[in-house]
């Protein structure tokens, strides 16, 4: 028998409006993408790794931050974690609780 998947919890979450508009998001992606590219090129030239690696990490952080991440507490264990606002569910890293997110 193929039973329904394991028990899950649903959670209502108020979606936080990003301070950035769509233009800000777009710029963030461009700047972040360019940064990763330059960082990758620097990393190829061994010596450039010193600058390239931090640049790539910072650029990835920038891209992630403009994607609309939000901190959500797990309803079961209260562990706070970053969740992309386009995500439909949350698989808790701590207690493995599967939570369905109802964005509002």
Contact footprint for Zn ion (CB under 5 A): 74, 76-77, 79, 92, 94-95, 97
Q: Which is nearer to Zn ion, 33 or 87 (CB)?
A: 87
**CA 13, CA 1: separation in Å to the nearest integer?**
34
Q: How far is the CB of 89 from Zn ion (least distance, A)?
A: 13
Q: Encode 47-84 in three state secondary structure.
A: HHHHHHHHHHHHHHHHHHHHCCEEEEECCCCCCEEEEE
Q: Which is nearer to Zn ion, 56 or 92 (CB)?
A: 92
Q: How far is the CB of 9 from Zn ion (least distance, A)?
A: 9
* CB neighbour class for 35 (10 Å; exposed up to 12, middle 13-18, buried from 19): buried
Q: Which is nearer to Zn ion, 61 or 82 (CB)?
A: 82
DSSP state of 104: -
Q: How far is the CB of 11 from Zn ion (least distance, A)?
A: 11
């Amino acid at each position: 028998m193929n039973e329904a998947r394991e028990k899950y919890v649903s959670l209502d979450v108020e979606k936080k409006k990003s301070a950035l508009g769509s233009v800000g998001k777009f710029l963030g992606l461009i700047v972040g993408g360019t940064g990763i590219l330059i960082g990758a090129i620097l990393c190829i030239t061994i010596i450039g790794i010193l600058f390239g690696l931090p640049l790539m990490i910072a650029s990835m952080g920038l891209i992630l931050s403009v994607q609309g991440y939000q901190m959500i507490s797990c309803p079961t264990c209260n562990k706070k974690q970053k969740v992309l606002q386009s995500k439909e569910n949350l698989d808790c890293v701590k207690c493995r609780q599967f939570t369905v997110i109802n964005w509002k």
